[in-house]
């Protein structure tokens, strides 16, 4: 039997589940601590965060903490694996579209944004693994939103399982990572557009025993500028929101980072996403803007899930 705790963190909902009830309080305390550390390191909305200090030092090599270095390295590797479809240098584009503060404080409408420009490119950010120094060029603003929560989920699940000696599931805004022994039948996860309001009658349920599962969607974190609907997923190739082909993409992978990287890339790619995911043997469930569901890469059908 497993049981869990839910709390607010990183502008979203954090959920931790363990297979041993007696270890739940300790799991929640440790997850709280790790997420506070991540926020201090990576939040672009905090003037006192480490990444904000890195932005202010653009043009000069800066020594960073092991946590920020690992988060940056993860983001750059995701960019490389997707040939730039998921790129942390979209910070200026995201800000120009209006997402310039915690979403709960965001103006839901306003003036038209400036003309979009492509992201500067992830390859311009230099990391030195020996000295743990980062060189961020002038004019490059980072946004780790596409990988940071998944990165934190993977790290936290692994650490909690190791420290507590039981099975652990960590979900951060719907980015799910599991570690340790799974409960009987696996970890059962409802896959929906709103991780905080899934409906068993509407949203499918899948089970995983290891790795991660992530859902990216354009139906949440939406706002308007000059009457135009915008959302938080940006195409680095244009600096604008992508053409909406899929409103939701859910992917299972060996890690939550890999799953979330692929789900974000699928939203950005649009029509080519099914072939892209199939080539990489990544199980995915894509929901079109008209509600049509497409299963690719071995994602189980309704009949298979029931069985």
CA–CA dist 305, 205 (Å, integer)? 7
Nearest to 145 by CA among 233, 57, 27: 233
The pLDDT value given to residue 115: 87
Quote the radius of gyration of the chain (alpha carbons, Å). 19
Query: What is the CATH number assigned to the segment(s) 57-135?
Result: 1.10.3980.10
- Contact, 214 vs 254, CB < 8 A? no
The three-class DSSP label of residue 111 is coil
CA–CA dist 27, 163 (Å, integer)? 9
Q: pTM for the complete prediction?
A: 0.90
Output the CA torsion sign for 225, 228, 234, 236.
negative
Paired tokens of 289: 């803007």
Sequential pLDDT tens for the chain (307 residues): 457 889 988 778 899 999 999 999 999 999 999 999 999 999 988 899 999 999 999 999 999 999 999 999 999 999 999 999 999 999 998 888 776 666 666 577 776 778 889 999 999 999 999 999 999 999 999 999 889 999 999 999 999 999 999 999 999 998 999 999 999 999 999 887 765 556 555 678 899 999 999 999 988 777 667 676 766 789 999 998 889 999 999 999 999 999 999 999 999 999 999 999 999 999 999 999 999 999 999 998 864 444 4
């Amino acid at each position: 039997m497993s049981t869990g705790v839910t709390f607010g963190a990183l502008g979203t909902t954090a959920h931790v589940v363990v297979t041993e009830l007696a270890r739940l309080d300790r799991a929640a305390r440790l997850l709280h601590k790790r997420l506070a550390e991540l926020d201090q390191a990576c939040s672009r909305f905090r003037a006192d965060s480490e990444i904000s200090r890195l932005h202010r030092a653009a043009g000069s090599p800066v020594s960073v903490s092991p946590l920020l270095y690992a988060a940056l390295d993860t983001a750059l590797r995701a960019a490389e694996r997707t040939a730039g479809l998921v790129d942390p240098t979209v910070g200026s584009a995201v800000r120009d579209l209006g997402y310039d503060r915690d979403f709960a404080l965001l103006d839901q409408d306003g003036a038209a944004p400036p003309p979009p420009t492509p992201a500067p490119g992830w390859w311009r950010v230099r990391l030195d693994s020996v000295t743990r120094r980062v060189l961020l060029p002038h004019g490059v603003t980072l946004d780790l939103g596409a990988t940071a929560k998944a990165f934190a989920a993977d790290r936290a699940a692994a650490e909690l399982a190791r420290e507590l000696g039981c099975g652990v599931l960590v979900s951060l805004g719907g980015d799910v990572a599991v570690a340790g022994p799974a409960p009987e039948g696996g970890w059962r996860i409802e896959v929906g557009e709103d991780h905080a309001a899934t409906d068993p009658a509407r949203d499918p349920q899948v089970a995983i025993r290891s790795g991660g599962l992530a859902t990216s969607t354009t139906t949440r974190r939406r706002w308007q500028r000059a009457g135009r609907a915008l959302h938080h997923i940006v195409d680095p190739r244009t600096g604008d929101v992508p053409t909406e082909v899929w409103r939701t993409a859910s992917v299972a992978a060996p890690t939550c980072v890999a799953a979330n990287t692929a789900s974000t890339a699928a939203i950005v790619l649009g029509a080519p996403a099914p072939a892209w995911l199939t080539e990489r043997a990544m199980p995915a469930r894509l929901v079109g803007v008209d509600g049509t569901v497409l299963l690719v890469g071995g994602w189980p059908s309704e009949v298979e899930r029931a069985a």
